[in-house]
């Protein structure tokens, strides 16, 4: 009987090694499968008899080999960069969680090749939806239980665009705050022209631009000016600042005012205001063409149109209820665009400014200077910056600037922050005086001029960071957190059932899934625009394949040798 046992033993070896070859063949076939984890074969010996007494039957105790277990190597695969922004790879032990929308079942995978479907959900190639948490407008996580990652559900999405299911937009935001960090030249002289005029370079020292948005999302390039005034009684250097926008972008302007800068800010800008009797509108005052008065101007004054042409307007020419445009036209000037009051100014009667587009700009009063020193008896202007001998900002006066945008937009209110002043700060937050605008050196530099507004934006692409937070990059430059990927872990991940398509299923051997955010409890990090490659080691697989082949060959030799011995045994009868 023992010789026949040898046949069965050899057979078991050939069958076990054949199964091992199948496993290695599967590994080799999945060398390029994204997220694939290779299998390993464990063999164990087989006994064909239980223990009898204290020993085995020596003639029959050996019965060959069997496949004890096909294990799974969960080691990290190499991560390959891709050009697809929705691709993700896990560096660590976690697994992506995917829900089948048809059955509601959840599956798990290391394959992170995702795309955004027509409903803006992140899905794999089988249409299973990636699980995670949505984010609100502040970036905070919504809820604790993972849900379908739906890019369209973030709180800033434009509901009109989403209703059409064709794009994801975010609404425009009007500019409300500007932060200015600039360097003013300490040795700058006072401008040659004492009355500030945004259109006259001789009336200011330095100019820089700032981008502002109105409530409609229209972009405006405003100009910020700095004017050196001198020193106060304490030896502080005094600068006035001014803000101006293009004349065709505010109420009362037209296309003819595209090259005319209109100052806004503080109390220097008035629309539909009542001008007390006897008020003198100084040289440089800007008046819109549709402006009317309730009483005639009783004195002559000079006026300049947007073309630079000047004329003297005779006393009584601007009568009650007539527009300034008609008065200008009657005196040979353009009948459209803003007009500037000339030398001597204009003394107004008791008059209410009216008209379809009333607008009067009163230039901000410059600091009163005597022999290069600011008169200490004059109160600080609303738009003034004062610096000590080290160049630090000591006092910051910066009231909110009102901008009457045209085009039907709501009037803007923009607060300017020039840094944390040491003594008086417009925002009430004092500091070193050196973190914003300073007066040092010999040249001007606009180090930082930023505003918080933006126009309407359309989702351009997605970016995922290491914590699994998916950010939307919009065409208006905004980068907003939309959702966060959830990762699953198991007590025994090798016990998960493979069901094909790079998917794994929870089993009794794997335990229940624990869902956590990436980087939590060694869950691993997310590599955006990357895919984890198969962890199959070709060299190692070929070595094992050779060993299995030799083992199979040896067992087949044992089988044929036993067969020959049985043949000889049968021939003894002859």
In 3D, which of 200, 181, 180, 179 has the Cα closest to residue 191?
A: 200
Domain shared by 87 and 228, yes or no: no
CB 514 within 8 A of CB 94: no
Domain shared by 128 and 148, yes or no: yes
Domain shared by 262 and 378, yes or no: yes
The pLDDT tens digits of the residues spanning 271-299 come to 556 666 777 777 777 888 888 887 888 88
Contacts of 258 (CB under 8 A, 6+ apart): 246, 247, 248
Rounded to 10°, the helix 538-571/2-29 angle is: 160
Residue ending a domain, choose from 435, 452, 469: 452
Domain shared by 263 and 400, yes or no: yes
CA atoms of 253 and 269, how far apart (whole Å): 14
CB 486 within 8 A of CB 122: no
Look at 352 and 95; give whichever has higher pLDDT: 95
Domain shared by 166 and 177, yes or no: no
The pLDDT tens digits of the residues spanning 232-257 come to 888 899 999 999 999 899 887 888 88
Which DSSP string do the residues of 344-403 spell out, in sequence order?
A: T-EE--SEE--SSS--EEPPPPPPPEETTEE-TTSPPPSEEEEE-TTS-EEEEEEPPEEE
CA atoms of 518 and 51, how far apart (whole Å): 52
The pLDDT tens digits of the residues spanning 34-49 come to 999 998 888 888 876 5
Structure tokens at 2: 């023992």
Q: What is the count of structural domains for the chain? A: 4
CA atoms of 143 and 550, how far apart (whole Å): 58
The pLDDT tens digits of the residues spanning 457-494 come to 888 999 999 999 999 999 988 898 999 999 999 999 98
**Would you say residue 364 has pLDDT above 80?**
no
CA atoms of 501 and 398, how far apart (whole Å): 63
Place of tokens 């100019």: 207
We report the CATH number of the domain holding residue 217 as: 2.60.98.20
Structure tokens at 327: 């008065």
- Region at 26 (left for phi over 0; alpha for psi -120 to 50; beta for the rest): alpha
Domain shared by 441 and 418, yes or no: yes
Residue ending a domain, choose from 356, 371, 397: 356
Range from 17-21, 28-32, 276-280 that averages highest in pLDDT: 28-32
In 3D, which of 108, 113, 73, 107 has the Cα closest to residue 89?
A: 113
Phi and psi at residue 308, to the nearest 5°: 90, 5
Look at 378 and 244; give whichever has higher pLDDT: 244
User: What percentage of residues in the chain have a pLDDT greater than 90?
Assistant: 45
Q: What is the pLDDT of residue 55?
A: 53
In 3D, which of 200, 209, 218, 92 has the Cα closest to residue 521?
A: 92
CA atoms of 481 and 136, how far apart (whole Å): 8
**Would you say residue 129 has pLDDT above 60?**
yes
Domain shared by 263 and 276, yes or no: no
Q: What is the pLDDT of residue 156?
A: 58
In 3D, which of 398, 463, 460, 393 has the Cα closest to residue 433?
A: 393
In 3D, which of 196, 339, 381, 362 has the Cα closest to residue 281?
A: 362
The pLDDT tens digits of the residues spanning 480-530 come to 899 999 999 999 998 999 999 999 999 999 999 999 999 998 899 999 999
Judged by DSSP in three states, 559 sits in helix
CA atoms of 151 and 129, how far apart (whole Å): 12
Domain containing 112: what range? 80-170+460-532
Half-sphere exposure of 204 (CA within 13 A, CB side): 21
Domain shared by 164 and 207, yes or no: no
Domain shared by 264 and 367, yes or no: yes
Domain shared by 565 and 549, yes or no: yes
Domain shared by 383 and 434, yes or no: yes
Residue ending a domain, choose from 403, 421, 452: 452
- 104: DSSP letter: -
User: Considering the chain, what is the average pLDDT of its residues?
Assistant: 85
CA angle at residue 222 from 219 to 223, to 5 degrees?
Answer: 160
Domain shared by 441 and 550, yes or no: no
Contacts of 259 (CB under 8 A, 6+ apart): 246, 247, 306
């Amino acid at each position: 009987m023992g010789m026949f046992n040898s046949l069965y033993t050899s057979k078991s070896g050939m069958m076990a090694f054949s199964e091992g070859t199948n496993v290695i063949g599967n590994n080799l076939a999945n060398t390029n499968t994204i997220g694939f984890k290779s299998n390993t074969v464990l063999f164990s010996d087989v006994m064909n008899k239980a223990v009898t007494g204290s020993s085995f039957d020596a003639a029959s105790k050996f019965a060959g080999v069997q496949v004890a277990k096909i294990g799974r190597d969960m080691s990290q695969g190499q991560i390959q960069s891709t050009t697809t922004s929705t691709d993700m790879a896990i560096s660590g032990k976690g697994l992506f969680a995917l829900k089948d929308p048809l059955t509601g079942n959840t599956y798990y995978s290391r394959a992170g090749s995702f795309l955004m479907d027509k409903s803006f959900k992140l899905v794999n190639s089988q249409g299973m939806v990636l699980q995670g948490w949505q984010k609100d407008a502040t970036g905070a996580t919504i809820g604790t239980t993972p849900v379908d990652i739906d890019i369209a559900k973030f709180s800033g999405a434009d509901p009109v665009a989403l209703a059409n299911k064709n794009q994801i937009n975010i609404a425009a935001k009007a500019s409300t705050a500007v932060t200015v960090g600039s360097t003013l030249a300490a040795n700058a002289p006072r401008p040659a022209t004492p009355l500030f005029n945004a259109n006259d370079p001789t009336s200011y020292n330095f100019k820089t631009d700032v981008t502002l948005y109105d409530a409609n999302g229209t972009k405006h390039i405003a100009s910020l000016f700095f004017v050196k005034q001198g020193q106060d009684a304490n030896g502080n250097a005094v600068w006035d600042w001014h803000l101006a926008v293009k004349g065709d972008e505010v109420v009362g302007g037209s296309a003819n005012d595209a090259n005319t800068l209109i100052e806004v800010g503080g109390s220097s800008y008035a629309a539909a205001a009542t001008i007390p009797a006897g008020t003198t509108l100084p040289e440089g005052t800007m008046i819109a063409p549709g402006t009317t008065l309730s009483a005639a101007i009783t004195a002559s004054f000079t006026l300049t149109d947007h073309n630079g042409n000047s004329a003297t307007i005779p006393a009584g020419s601007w009568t009650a209820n007539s527009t300034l445009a008609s008065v200008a036209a009657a005196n040979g000037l353009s009948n459209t665009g803003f007009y500037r009051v000339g030398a001597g100014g204009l003394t107004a009667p008791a008059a209410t400014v009216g008209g379809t587009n009333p607008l009067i700009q009163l230039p901000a009063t410059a600091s009163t200077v005597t022999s290069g020193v600011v008169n200490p008896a004059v109160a600080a202007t609303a738009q003034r910056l004062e610096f000590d001998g080290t160049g630090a900002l000591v006092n910051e006066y910066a009231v909110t600037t009102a901008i009457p945008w045209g085009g039907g937009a709501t009037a803007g209110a923009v607060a300017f922050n020039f840094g944390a002043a040491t003594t008086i700060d417009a925002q009430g937050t004092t500091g070193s005086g050196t973190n914003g605008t300073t007066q040092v050196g010999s040249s001007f530099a606009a180090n930082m001029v930023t505003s918080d507004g933006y126009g309407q934006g359309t989702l351009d692409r997605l970016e995922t960071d290491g914590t699994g937070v998916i950010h939307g990059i919009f065409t208006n430059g905004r980068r907003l957190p939309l959702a966060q990927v959830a990762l699953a872990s198991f007590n025994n991940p090798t016990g998960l059932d493979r069901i094909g398509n790079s998917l794994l299923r929870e089993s009794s051997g794997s335990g229940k899934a624990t869902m956590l955010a990436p980087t939590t409890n060694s869950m691993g990090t997310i590599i955006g625009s990357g895919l984890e490659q198969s962890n199959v080691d070709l060299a190692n697989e070929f070595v094992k394949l050779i060993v299995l082949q030799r083992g199979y060959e040896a067992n087949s030799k044992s089988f044929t040798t036993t067969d020959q011995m049985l043949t000889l045994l049968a021939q003894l009868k002859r």
